[in-house]
Structure 1
Amino acid sequence: MNSDLVYRQIQPDHSLVDFVDCFWMLETQTDQARDVVVLPDGRIDLVLAQAQSEPFHVLLMGLGTVPTPARMAPRTRMVAISFKPLAIEYILRHPVAALVDTVQTLPTDFWGFSGSDLADFELFVKKASSRIQENLEEQVDDRKRKLFNLIYETQGSMPVNELAENVYWSSRQINRYFNQQYGVSLKTYCRVLRFRATFTQIKEGKLFPEQAFADQAHFIKEIRKYAGTIPKELFRNKNGRFIQFSALSSD
């Protein structure tokens, strides 16, 4: 992580692990705007943010399928909930199919949040966890829970037909569910997770496929598709522009 960026992450309570990937905080500490690239990572982020020159706002970021350029204003502070897909149906209760590779601005009092929640990251996590628990009322479909557990355990590398067989749910029905709720197919979501799983190995300078890729050419093609560049350039991460990749050093 670059010295002008501060990043922190807190893992969710065990009762929330099916719905929350993590809570995170990011702060820029310079008076200069910063150009970054947001990489697809299989998460849906609810972000509270405020900059020195901008008002407090709340954003919902849909699933990403392409590298997305963004500009962070000077002295920006963000706190966020990174949701796993199950949270869309069982906590937020509204599909995000229309938000693929885009962002929705929410009311600034969404879930009772306000600009004051940016001041203390630990208190934000407690408040956010409480809001999630309050909104989680329905019993989760066991097939969906098992499906996502398999996807995460295999880091997106298990074939779609094998996933379907394991959860006794047809691939056609699963894809209909994914497209209606998230705006992407199951195969696309798995490819994004497989891409995300390469972050750690590339960060360590391992610029070759370790698993789940047919060969080096396939590996490079997938990295280029989701990062917009080759593994070597992602490893270099010039000026810390790949924001999630930069954050790995602080995990």
Structure 2
Amino acid sequence: MKLEYLEHKPGGVLNQYVECFWEYKNTGCEKKHTIIPDGHFEVIAEYESETHSKLYLTGIWTEPKNVIVPENGKVFGIRFKLLAAEFLFPYQIRKLLNKSLHIQQPRCNRETYTKNNFEFFISNATACLKEDIHKIHSNNIDIRKLRLFELIYNKKNYSVEELSQKVGWSSRQINRYFNNQFGLSLKEYLKILRCKNSYQEISNGILSPQKDFYDQSHFIKEIKKYTGTTPKSLYQNKNDRFLQLSTANYA
């Protein structure tokens, strides 16, 4: 079976809230995958035999999650950055830590999910999200939050204390915000992002830490904590078990 995976990166103001839109096709028999933590939450639409079957919202993962993609199945997804959780969703994302929730009402209009067409999905979802974001910015967002997430996602290994100083928001207040909104501390979230940022290197056969880890032992320990296995096993990726490492566009 050949994996078919596409990503579309948003531009403009949408980039503050959305990591990417993605499509995954299973062109063969039923396939088992393991999803490993990447620091995002998602809205996922599943299709079986060209017909929309399920829509669900995931929380943030701090542990690996096994999933099954049915025979000839197709999945569309929106991978969200954390800022979207507070302003674009009626659900409490913190209650979905390591969980997913089947939802009846789609994030955007229902027509977005009825057509089995990725470009249509992107276009409709983008229009819907931009409309909501315009309303948010009209009411003003705490500039500290915008700055905090801008720094978090720039792939530099900042500590909680460094982020606190740069944003002008106490570490205690930031951690309270993270626990209340997302269900985990900023410190743990930064560890997840640090591992996520190494997945591409691991998929390319780089099995020693290039940055952000103290040493080889620390690297292996952190990767195993959040993925359930070693960098070597991730690289080997037998039977395309780890979906993110099987898709070259993942970053």
- TM-score, normalisation: structure 1: 0.92
Secondary structure (helix, strand or coil) at the match of 1:50 reads strand
Residue in 1 that maps onto 2:144: 143
Residue in 1 that maps onto 2:46: 49
Match of 1:131 among 125, 128, 131: 128
CA contact (8 A) 1:59 1:104 kept: yes
Amino acid at match of 1:101: N
Of stretches 135-144 and 16-25 in structure 1, the one that deviates more from structure 2 is 135-144
Residue in 2 that maps onto 1:176: 176
Identity between Structure 1 and Structure 2 (%): 34
Residue in 1 that maps onto 2:63: 66
- For residues 196 and 89 of structure 1, do their structure 2 counterparts lie closer, same or farther at Cα, with a shift above 3 Å needed? same
Secondary structure (helix, strand or coil) at the match of 1:135 reads helix
Secondary structure (helix, strand or coil) at the match of 2:246 reads helix
- Unaligned stretches of 5+ residues in structure 2: none
Residue in 2 that maps onto 1:15: 13
Deviation at 1:109, TM superposition (A): 4.7
Secondary structure (helix, strand or coil) at the match of 1:41 reads coil
Post-superposition Cα deviations, 1:47-99, rounded to whole Å, max 9, x if no partner, equal: 11122498611110110000111222211111111110001112224420010
CA contact (8 A) 2:17 2:83 kept: yes
Amino acid at match of 2:85: I
Q: What is the alpha-carbon distance in structure 2 between the residues aligned to residue 49 and residue 135 of structure 1?
A: 24
Question: Aligned runs of 1:83-232 on 2, under 5 Å?
Answer: 83-107=80-104, 109-114=106-111, 117-136=114-133, 137-138=135-136, 139-155=140-156, 157-232=157-232
Secondary structure (helix, strand or coil) at the match of 1:112 reads coil
Q: What is the alpha-carbon distance in structure 2 between the residues aligned to residue 141 and residue 11 of structure 1?
A: 25
- Unaligned stretches of 5+ residues in structure 1: none
CA contact (8 A) 2:3 2:27 kept: yes
Provide the aligned C-alpha RMSD in A: 1.9
Amino acid at match of 2:110: F
Post-superposition Cα deviations, 1:134-168, rounded to whole Å, max 9, x if no partner, equal: 2221222210111111111134x211111111101
Q: What is the alpha-carbon distance in structure 2 between the residues aligned to residue 5 and residue 53 of structure 1?
A: 17
Provide the aligned length of Structure 1 versus Structure 2: 247
Deviation at 1:201, TM superposition (A): 1.0
- For residues 226 and 54 of structure 1, do their structure 2 counterparts lie closer, same or farther at Cα, with a shift above 3 Å needed? farther
